[in-house]
Structure 1
Amino acid sequence: MDIPAVPTKVDPGALTAVLDGRWAGLRREVRAQMAAEDFSDPANLDIEAHRAQVLENLRRLARTDQPGLGFDVAYGGGNDVGGSVTSFEMLGFGDLSLMVKAGVQWGLFGGAVQLLGTERHHEKYLRGIMDLSTLGCFAMTEHGHGSDVQNLHTTATYDPAAREFVVHSPDSGATKEYIGNAARDGRLAVVFAQLVTGGESRGVHAFLVPIRDADGTPAPGVTIEDCGRKAGLNGVDNGRLTFDRVRVPREALLNRFGDVAEDGAYSSPIESDGRRFFTMLGTLIRGRVSVGGSAGNATKRALALAIRYGEQRRQFKRPDGDEVVILDYLGHQRKLLPALAKTYALHFAQEELVSKLHDIPSDASEEEQRELEARAAGLKAFNTWHATRTIQAAREACGGAGYLSENLLAGLKADTDVFTTFEGDNTVLLQLVAKGLLTQYKEYFEDLSPLATARFVAEQLVGAVLERTAARQVVERLTESDDGDVLFDREWQQKLFEDREEHVLEGVANRLRKAADDPFGVFNAAQDHVLRAGRVHVDRLVLDAFARAVSSCEDAEAKALLERVCDLYALSAIEEDRAWFLEHGRLTASRSKAVTAAVNGLCAELRPHARALVDAFAIPEQFLAAPMLLG
C-alpha cells in the first residue's frame, strides 16, 4: 500500500480548524472571552479565597451568553445543547474548580429543573438559575449509596392533609455527601429521594428543597456541613446535607415523569418504576458528557506544557558535544506522543458524541436513548482514565519542574483525579456499556432451558468454525499477506478492533448464559470479561471516529499528518493489548514485534510535528504561563 509522506511543516491553524469542528465559531468566541480575562492560578490561595475567586469568575461567566445556551429560548436560553456542552468543556483549559462549579449550577442543578420539571418549575426558576440569582445544588449522592442511586435512603413522604412532602434522612447513610455548592453558596437543592405516597414507595424522584434563606442561614430542619479540604478542586464548596422532616409544597416535586395529586394519587406516563427511574437518569447525561470533554481539555493542557518543556530542556551530550533536548529521546517520545495521539482520537470521538446528544430528537426511541447513554458512559470513562494517566506522564516528563505548583501540572493532577469516580464511577460505567451490548443476546437469556442452552453452545461452535465474521476474514486476509505495510492499512486496523469486540462480546454472552442458576455469582465471576467487553467496544468507537475525521479533512497537509497520528493511536492501542491479539491468533509473533517497531518509527516521524500538534489545541497562552517554559 502507498503510505503518504508527512509534509515537512504543517500549519497548526489548519489542524485547529479540523479539531474545532461543528462548533468552531463558539470555540473561537469562548477562547477570545477567556483570553480577555485575567487568569490567576489558584495554587497559592487558601480554600476560602479560592472559593471566593471561583464564585466571582462564575458571576463573570453568567454575564455572557454561554450559561444559557442549553436552556429553552422561552426563558432566555439558546436551545443549543451541543454548544452548551462545548462551552463547558472549554472551561477545562483553565481552573477546573470553575468548570465544576459551573457544571453544578447550570448543568446538574439547572439541567435537572429543566429536564425533570415542567412549565411551572421552568417559569419560576430557570431565569434565576441562568443569571445566578438562584444558586443551587444537585443532591443525589449519599454517604451509603453513590453509584446505586436506585436504593437511596432519603425519603419524601406525601402528607395529603397538608399537601406537602416531608423530606427526611432516616439514617446516617442517607446523608447527602460531596454536594457541590452546598457548603457555602447554594440556596436551593434538587434532592433525589424515595417518593412515598399512600404508604407505597414509587421509587426515586427529584424535589426542590430550600437549604438556606436569603441571608445564608440553614433552613429549618436542614443541617449543612463543609466537606473541607480535598485533594483538589478546592474552589468548589462541597458539603453534606441532612434533612429532619423538612416540609416542601406538593409543587416542589419535579413532575415530568411522575406526579402526585392533591389527594395523594400517583400518576406517571411510564408505568414501570424501574423504567421510569432509568428514563429520568437518562435525561441527565449532559453532565457526564461535559466531564469527559473537560478532562480531555485538561489533558491537552498538560501535553502542551510537557511537550514545550521537552523541546527546551537539555540532558546529556551527543558525540559532537551538543546537549540533547529531551524530546529527541525515544523514551521521552514514548511517554508523550502515543498519549497525544490518543488525545486526538478521544477529541474526535467526543465531538461525535456531543453532536449525537445535540441531534437526538425529543421523541427518540428507548433504544436510541440507551445507545447514547452507553456511548456517553464509555467515553467519560476513557477520557477521565486517559487524563489521569497522561497528566501523570506529563508530570514525570517535566521532572522536578513538573512537581512545582507554579508549573501547573501538580494542580492538574490533583483536580482531575476525582473525575474517574464522579458523574459515574468508571468501572460501573463500563459495565453499563457492556450491558447495552449484551441486549442482542436477550433471546438466549429469556429461555435458558437445557435445549436452549445446548442450541446456544452449538451455534457458537458452528459460528466459530464455519461462519467467521466479515471482520475476521479481512483481518486474516490482510495479516497473512506479504504486504509489509499492512500495519498502516486503516481497514486492517478497524477490522482488527471490530473483530476483537465481536469475539469478546460472544465470549461474555457464552459465560452469562447460566445466569438463571446464580445470577450474581455468574455475573461476578465474569465481571473482568464484562469490563473488557465495554473497553474494547469503546476502543473501536474511538478509532472509527478518528478515521472518519481524517477522511473528511479537506486540508491536504493536515490530513497527511492526521493519518499518521491516527496510525500511532491505532498501533499503540494494539501494542498495549498485544497479549490478547497473540493469544487469540490475530497477530503472529513477527507481526507483534513489527507493531512495536512501527510505534517507534511513528514516534520519530511525528517528533518534528509535536509542537504543531499541541499548538493546534489553541489553548489561550495565559493558561500555559509556567515559569519552567523559557518563552
Structure 2
Amino acid sequence: MNTPNSRPTGQYADEVTDAGVAAVRRALDGRWHTLRDEIRARPDFADLRVHPGTDVETYRATIWEMLRRLADEGHAVHGFPTAVGGRGDIGGSVVSFEMLAFADLSLQVKSGVQWGLFGGAIQALGNAEQHARFLPGVMDLSLPGCFAMTETGHGSDVQSVHTTATYDPDTQEFVVDTPTESARKDYIGNAARDGRMAAVFVQLYSGPRDEQPERHGVHAVLVPLRDEDGTVLPGIEITDDGHKEGLNGVDNGRLAFHGVRVPRENLLDRYGAVAPDGTYSSSIESENRRFFTMLGALVRGRVSVSGSAVGAASLAQTIAVRYGEARRQFAAPGSDEEITVLDYLAHQRKLLPGLARTYALRLAQNELVEMLHDIQTTREAGGTVDEKRQRELESRAAGIKALTTWHATATIQACREACGGQGYLSENRLGQLRADTDVFTTFEGDNTVLLQLVAKGLISGYADDFGNLDTLGTVRFVADQVLDTVAERTSLRQLAERLRAVGPGRDEDDVLDRSWQVKLLDDREEHTLDGLVRRLRPAREKGISPDRQFAIFNNAQDHLLRAARAHLDGLVLDAFVRGIDSTVDPSARALLGKVCDLYALSVIEEDKGWFLEHGRISAARAKTVTAEVNRLCRELRPHARALVDAFGIPESWIGAPIATGAEHRRQDEARAHAASLH
C-alpha cells in the first residue's frame, strides 16, 4: 500500500523527491506547521468518521461521543485564554479546526459550534468574570452550547433581528421574547439535542424604573435551554430542523423564547452594559459602530469555515489525483497498454487548475489566520487594535470565505466526476464531502452578501463612519463621501512594485512573466472599481429620491460583485507569490512557481471575455493563455501526486479505497489478466 510520500513506480517515479514534497508541505503548512504535525501524529484520527448511511439519531449520538473524546484530550484549549486553562493561541485554534476537515465534517462543524461560536462569543463579547464562570465548562464540554444569531426572517441582516431582551429593574433580569414566528432562531447547531445554553443575539431594551425602555441595538445574552438532565426549561420552545442534505451528525434546531427570564449578569457586556437600575452604558457611543465592533470580534468563525473548505477541497483532490494515476482506460494505437486517465489532457484540465487554486487559497488562508491571530491576541492582551486593520481583516475574511467555499463546492464536484462511478460510491467519500460542504456557501454569511461587503469596503476606503449595511445606507454614504476617489492602492500594485524592484524577469509580453500577470489583474481591478464608482455617481445628485438612490445601487450590483472578485483574485495571487518567496528549497520554489503560473493564467483564462472586451489582451494573446494553461497542465502532470502528497494528509485519514492502494492492485490484476490472454 502506498504511503503519502511513496508515489507509484513507473514513468514519473523520480520526478520529485520526498525532500521536495516536504519543502512544499512546509510552505503550505505555514506558521502553525508544528501544530499540524502534532495533529497528524494522532494514531486514532481515522476513527473519527461515521459510517455512511447511519441513521440520524445514531449519527448524532456518535458525533457527540467523538466530541467528548476531543474534549477529554484537550483538543479545544488552543484558542481560549490562559487565565481559564487555555493556551491563548487563536491561530492554533483555527488550524486545529481546519485539520478536522479530514475527519467527519459533522464532527468538525459541531466542534465549531461548541468551541468556535458558542465559546468564541463568550470569549469575544464577555467580561473576565464571565470567562471564569463559563469557559472552563465550554472547553471540557460540561456546558454544551449554541450560537443563536440567525432568525427565520433575518439571516444575513443580523442588525435587524427581532428577538428582544427587555430589562426588568425590579428583578434585575432580562425578559427574552420571540415576538413573531419569523423571529425564531433557526438552523441553530446543538439546539435540537445537546445544547444546554445559548448565546442569543437580541435587540436590547433597558431604562430606569418607570421610564419607557430604550432600544440599544443588538447584543448577546446567555440563555439556559435545558437543565442538567436534558429537560427543556420553561418558556423555551425547541423544534428539530430535521434531516438535511448533509451534516446530519449536527443537531440543528429552532429556538423560540416566551417570557424567559435570565439574570442581568448573563448579558455579554464587553461592548455594552446595563446597571442594576437599568441604565445603559457603552464605550462606543454609536450604535452602528458598536454593532460592527461586536461582529468584528466574532470574525474567527468565518475564518474557520474558510480553512475547512480548503481542507475539504484538498482531501477531494488527493482522492481524485491518486485515482487518476491508477485508473486506466483505452489503449493507445499500436499498444496493448491502456492509458492512465491522468495522462489525458481533458482529465488534467479537470483537476490541475483547481489544484493550483487550492494551493493559492491555502496560502491566502494562512495569511488570513496570521492576521486574525495577531489582531485578536493584541486585543485580548488589552492592546490597541488599529481600526483600519480590523476592517481589513473583516473584509478579507468575508472575501476569502466566499472564494474558498465556492471553490470547495466546484472542486469536489469536479473530483467526483473525475472518479466516474467510483466517485459516486459512499465508501470513497466524495459524495459525502459534496453534501457536507454545500452549506458552507451560505453559513457564516451568504457568499453573495459577503462579496458585497468586500466591495463596499473598497469604495468606502474602510471609512471609520461607514454606516449601516442596508443598501440605502450604503448608497447615501457613497453619494456623500467617496465618489471622487477609489480605494487605496491595491495589493497587486504593491506586488508589481516589489517585482520591479527585484529586477526584470521574462519579456514583459510573455504570459509567464509574473509582472505581466500581475499588471493584467491589477488593471482589471482598477478599471472595474473606477467603473463602479462612475455608475454610482448619479446617486449624489441633489434632490434625488431615496427610491432612485436604491435603484442606482441595485442596478449596479453586478458591477459591485465583479469589483470584489477582481480585488480578491489580486489578494490571492499576492499571497501565493509571498508563499513562494518564503520557500528556501530551490526545487520547491520552482515547482510552486509553475503552480502559481497555472493559477494566475487559469484566472485570466476564466475571465478572458472581459480582458478581450476591454482591450487588455488581443485574440492571439487569449489563445496563447489557453495554450500555456494546457502546457502547464502537461508539465505539472508528472508532479500531480507530489502536489497532493504535499497537503500532508496521513494515509489512514484518507479513507477512500480508490486512493489508498486498492485501485492500484485492481489495475495491476487487470493488466496481468489482459497479458495472460495474449
Deviations 1:474-515 (A, max 9, x none): 99xxxxx99497111112112221121111111111111222
- Equivalent-residue separation in structure 1 for 2:619 and 2:81 (angstroms): 57
Are 1:140 and 2:149 an aligned pair?
yes
Conservation of the 8 A alpha-carbon contact between 1:211 and 1:218: yes
User: Which residue in the other structure is 2:442 paired with?
Assistant: 421
Indicate whether 1:30 and 2:54 are aligned. no
CA contact (8 A) 1:39 1:622 kept: no
Query: RMSD over aligned Cα, in angstroms?
Result: 2.3
Tell me the residue number matched to 2:298: 284
Whichever residue aligns with residue 528 of structure 2, its letter is V
Which residue of 1 is the match for residue 218 of structure 2?
204
Q: Distance in 2 between matches of 1:448 and 1:357?
A: 32
TM-score, length of structure 1 as denominator length? 0.93
CA offset digits 1:392-417 (Å, max 9, x no partner): 00000011111111110000000000
CA distance in 2, matches of 1:200, 1:118: 23
Distance 1:36 1:99 in 2: 12
Question: Aligned to 2:371, which of 346, 356, 366?
Answer: 356
Give the equivalent residue in structure 2 for 1:492. Answer: 516
| Partner SS for 1:514 | helix
Aligned partner of 1:270 in structure 2 is: 284
Contact in 2 for aligned 1:141/1:176 (Cα 8 Å): yes
Change (3 A) 1:152 1:25: same
Q: How far is the alpha carbon of 1:31 from its aligned partner? A: 1.1
**CA deviations over 1:335-377 (Å, ceiling 9, x no partner):** 0000000000000000000011111232212211110000000
1:238 aligns with 2:262: no
How far the C-alpha of 1:448 sits from its partner, in A, is: 5.8
CA distance in 1 between counterparts of 2:602 and 2:414 reads 16
For residue 55 of structure 1, what is the aligned residue in structure 2? 64
Letter in 1 for 2:345: L
- 1:448–1:187 distance in 2 versus 1, CA, 3 Å: closer
> For residues 479 and 186 of structure 2, what CA distance do their matches in structure 1 show?
42
Residue in 2 that maps onto 1:217: 231
Alpha carbons of structure 1 residues 34 and 382: separation in structure 2 relative to 1, 3 Å: farther
**Which amino acid counterpart does residue 614 of structure 1 have in structure 2?**
V
Conserved 8 A contact 1:474-1:492: no
Local SS of the residue matching 2:643: helix
Residues 46 and 653, structure 2, Cα contact 8 Å, conserved in 1: no
Per-residue displacement from partner, 1:228-256 (whole Å, max 9, x unpaired)? 11000000000111000100011110000
CA deviation string 1:427-453 (max 9, x = no partner)? 00001111111113979977969xx99
Q: How far apart, in 2, do the equivalents of 1:520 and 1:571 lie?
A: 37
- The correspondence of residues 390-539 of structure 1 with structure 2, limited to 5 A, is 390-440=411-461, 456=484, 483=507, 486-516=510-540, 517=544, 518-539=548-569
Aligned twin of 1:4: none
Q: Count the aligned residue pairs.
A: 607
Contact 2:508–2:515 (Cα < 8 Å) also in 1: no
Match of 2:633 among 603, 607, 611: 603
What are the equivalent positions in structure 2 for 1:63-462 lying under 5 Å apart? 63-198=72-207, 199-319=213-333, 320-360=335-375, 361-362=378-379, 363-440=384-461, 456=484
Q: Quick one: which amino acid aligns to residue 539 of structure 1?
A: D
Structure 2 gap segments, 5+ residues each: 1-13, 208-212, 467-474, 487-492, 500-504, 663-678
Please list the CA deviations of residues 377-404 of structure 1 after superposition, one character each: whole Å capped at 9, or x if unmatched: 0000000000000000000001111111
Q: CA deviation at 1:599?
A: 0.2
Displacement of 1:519 in angstroms is 2.6
Shift of 1:625: 2.5
SS, match of residue 628 in structure 1: helix
Task: Kindly indicate whether the alpha-carbon contact (under 8 Å) linking 2:479 and 2:536 is maintained by their aligned counterparts in 1.
Answer: no
| Cα distance in 2 for residues equivalent to 1:413 and 1:482 | 41
Which amino acid is the alignment partner of residue 493 of structure 1?
Q
Paired-residue identity, %: 61
CA distance in 2, matches of 1:470, 1:273: 36
Task: Tell me if structure 2 keeps the 8 A contact 1:472–1:496.
Answer: no
- The structure-2 alpha-carbon separation of the partners of 1:470 and 1:280, relative to structure 1 and needing over 3 Å to count, comes to closer
Mapped contact 1:550–1:559 kept (Cα < 8 A)? yes
Match of 1:573 among 603, 607, 623: 603
Change beyond 3 A, Cα 1:39–1:447:
closer
**Distance change in 2, residues 1:77/1:484 (3 Å):** closer
Tell me how far 1:159 sits from its aligned partner: 0.8
Partner Cα distance (1:332, 1:542) in 2:
25
Aligned to 2:624: 594
Distance 2:362 2:25 in 1: 12
Q: In the alignment, which residue of structure 2 is the partner of 1:13?
A: 22
Distance 1:253 1:447, change over 3 A: closer
**In structure 2, what is the equivalent of residue 465 of structure 1?**
none
* Distance in structure 2 (CA, Å) of the matches to 1:123 and 1:470: 45
In structure 2, what is the Cα distance between the partners aligned to 1:135 and 1:441?
37
Are 1:35 and 1:620, in contact at CA under 8 Å, matched by a contact in 2?
no
- SS of aligned partner of 2:389: helix
The CA distance in 1 between the partners of 2:43 and 2:58, in whole Å, is: 21
- Give secondary structure in 2 for the equivalent of 1:68: coil
Query: Matched residues in 1 for 2:450 and 2:479: separation?
Result: 27
User: Aligned equivalents of 1:17 and 1:169: distance in 2?
Assistant: 50
Tell me if the contact between 1:104 and 1:137 (Cα under 8 Å) persists in the aligned partners.
yes
C-alpha separation in 2, matches of 1:482 and 1:259: 60
The one-letter code matched in structure 1 to 2:523 is D
Between the aligned partners of 2:453 and 2:592, the Cα distance in structure 1 is 32
C-alpha distance in structure 2 between counterparts of 1:289 and 1:440, whole Å:
22
Q: Which residue of structure 2 lines up, in the alignment, with residue 3 of structure 1?
A: none
Larger deviation, residues 44-53 vs 151-160:
44-53
Structure 2: distance between partners of 1:494 and 1:40: 42
Q: State the Cα deviation string for residues 570-609 of structure 1 (Å, max 9, x = none).
A: 0000000001111111111111100000000000000010
Q: Given the superposition, is the C-alpha separation of residues 226 and 491 from structure 1 closer, same or farther in structure 2, using an over 3 Å criterion?
A: same
CA contact (8 A) 2:184 2:254 kept: yes
What letter is aligned with 2:626?
T
Distance 1:13 1:447 in 2: 49
Alpha-carbon distance between aligned partners in 2 of 1:618 and 1:473, rounded to the nearest angstrom: 34
Return the TM-score normalized by structure 2. 0.86
Deviation at 1:471?
Answer: 9.5
Partner of 1:233: helix, strand, or coil?
coil
Could you say if the C-alpha distance between residues 100 and 39 of structure 1 is closer, same or farther in structure 2, counting changes exceeding 3 Å?
Answer: closer
Change (3 A) 1:471 1:27: closer
Task: Specify the SS of the correspondent of 2:658.
Answer: coil
